[in-house]
A and B are shown apart, each in its own frame.
Chain A
Amino acid sequence: MKFAVLSCIHGNLAALEAVLADAQAQKADRIYCLGDLVGYGPYPNEVVERIRTLEIQTCRGCWDDDTVEGVNACECSYPSVLAEQRGLAAHLWSNREVSDQARAFLAGLPYSLREGNLCFVHGSPYSAHEYLLPETDAFVAVERVLSTGADVLFCGHTHVPYVRTLDATPVEITVRGPASASGEVRQFSASLKRIVNAGSVGEPRHGRPNATYVLYDTERVEVDLREVEYDWRSTCAAIVEKGLPAIFAWRLARGLEFAERAEDPTHVCTR
């Protein structure tokens, strides 16, 4: 089986259509989506409708969550005041624009999906808001995969695709207690694990404006990081025309995050 895994479409319909066409050309048997259908981009309802009618199995992203539940994070979730203002402006726009039908669809999305030894989440198994970056501590990364019971964890949220293979040697722990002062030695082992980040269809941040997604071959256990060209200029124009902050068109055209990043990417606001 060949799976196409997409994430972070962010209301960019042109990018979604290009990725769907590429997945079809690559003979993908099934498509999974890791959420963030809305936010930043000009066509949230159209993207939700496309995903819904194609019956693509989708989990809930952080933007989908905020659109359903309302934004409930304080300034600690943003790397700067400027980023917070932009994020809130985009949220307010999306909140006005998203239809009741689309909102109801987002509200019904699960936080994770399973398929055999594969697990699909938006951010991490613990939160749609947690970032699993390539530089995330390797032991933390192994724990995130182990917590799902899967061998391969698919995630998005960072908008930059990567594959990370994690090969852990057995962990040795000495347990001491009142009844065993000298200590009992225990060993724990974990099989080879992988984290596959699907990048972003509609708001890439790898330095180019092209859409990204991944193909996963279950028999060959191979990952193909895909980069797909599309007419991103039309999306940029629609961002400006529809009254979204123009900065989102600027950064979409460059495939950049604007060099803003939270100091602690594993931090999740629990206010």
Chain B
Amino acid sequence: MWAILSGVEGNLTAYQAVLADLKRLHSRLKAVYILGDLVGPRPESEALVELVRAGTAGLPQAAVCLGWWEEHCLSLHGLGGNGDPEALIRQHGADTVQTLWKSVPLATAQWLRSLDLGFYERDCMLIHGSTLGVHDCLHPETPAFELLDRLVRADAHRLFCGRSGLIFELVVESARVATTITTLDGPQPVTTLDFVPRQVVGVGNVGRLDGQASYILYDPSTDRVEFKSLTYGTSRGCGRPGKSDL
């Protein structure tokens, strides 16, 4: 069983709530993936990174990849990154830029720079947006051929992504394209390409909304996706999950 989460966004309490939920599955859990946006414009980002890097007793060490907020951190610190500062200000305001700068110091940003864009495991790609970039937002209303394009680019049967913050599973059941090519030498025979059924899975968001977190569990042996939504208390001493919606 894999636990796949994304979008903690520096919300330490939310992450601790998910960890508590995962501990109940610990014997079945073989891997934990965090598909980007581990940090965000929250002061606890630094403590959160320390917690993730230190690991949690009884749980597999989390594998973390780059997300939208990480790319912006790298840009702010002059460490590369493809963050678009104008998009950041437009979407979150200039104050957020300052908060992000204060929340993620240079040393942490240097660790973020070491993260991969995504992971390949078996026939699955796990990534924040898509291979197009961390900004690419796949969701249940994404046009069908855009999904096909992302799956072909990823060269994977299952694409797990977190950019939308939603939990969903899209199964492309069937698709076919007949194509004819004409060159200077004349027309070539018609060829058809069939699309083998593949999935795009949204893994939810842990930290954006205080008190609510979502993530998914995936069993590679049965190819089953389980959506997990949980609510938790946010006041002091109430950091444990209040209700788990299985």
Residue ranges of A at the interface with B (Cβ–Cβ < 8 Å): 134, 137-144, 146-147, 160-169, 171-178, 183, 185-186, 188, 190, 206, 212, 223, 225, 227, 266, 270
Contact = CB atoms under 8 A, between A and B. Distances in A.
B171 interface: yes
Instruction: Pick the most buried of A137, A144, A227: most chain B CB atoms within 10 A of its CB.
Output: A137
Contacts of A166: 177-179
Interface stretch (B87-95, B107-115, B162-170): B162-170
Nearest to B151: A139
Instruction: Pick the most buried of B82, B144, B148: most chain A CB atoms within 10 A of its CB.
Output: B144
B177 A177 contact: no
Contacts of A142: 145, 148, 177
A164 B227 contact: no
Contacts of B169: 175-177
B193 interface: yes
A162 B177 contact: no
Given A142-B145, A173-B172, A174-B171, A227 B193 contact: no
A176 B177 CA distance: 25
13 contacts: A137-B152, A138-B177, A138-B191, A139-B195, A142-B148, A168-B178, A172-B172, A173-B171, A173-B173, A186-B144, A190-B145, A206-B183, A225-B182
B147 interface: yes
Chain B interface helix/strand/loop/mixed: strand
B182 A171 contact: no
B38 to A, nearest CB: 22
A227 B245 CA distance: 66
Contacts of A185: 173
B148 A163 contact: no
Contacts of A174: 170-171, 173
Given A139-B175, A166-B177, A178-B229, A173 B147 contact: yes
Contacts of B179: 138, 141, 164-167
B227 A177 contact: yes
Contacts of A206: 183-184
Nearest to B82: A270
A144 B149 CA distance: 9
Q: What band does the interface of chain B fall in when counting residues whose beta carbon is under 8 Å from A?
A: 35 or more
Contacts of A160: 183
Given A146-B143, A175-B168, A176-B170, 18 more contacts: A139-B193, A141-B179, A164-B180, A166-B177, A168-B175, A171-B144, A173-B170, A174-B171, A175-B169, A175-B170, A176-B168, A177-B167, A178-B167, A178-B245, A185-B173, A206-B183, A212-B184, A225-B184
A144 B229 CA distance: 36
B181 A134 contact: yes
B30 interface: no
A185 B174 CA distance: 11
A257 to B, nearest CB: 15
A227 B183 CA distance: 11
B125 to A, nearest CB: 16
A63 B246 CA distance: 55
B180 A171 contact: no
Contact of A171 (B172, B227, B229): B172
Contacts of B167: 177-178
B174 A172 contact: yes
B176 interface: yes
Interface in B169-213: 169-184, 191, 193, 195
Interface string B204-233: 000000000000000000000101010000
Nearest to A270: B82
Contacts of B182: 162-164, 223, 225
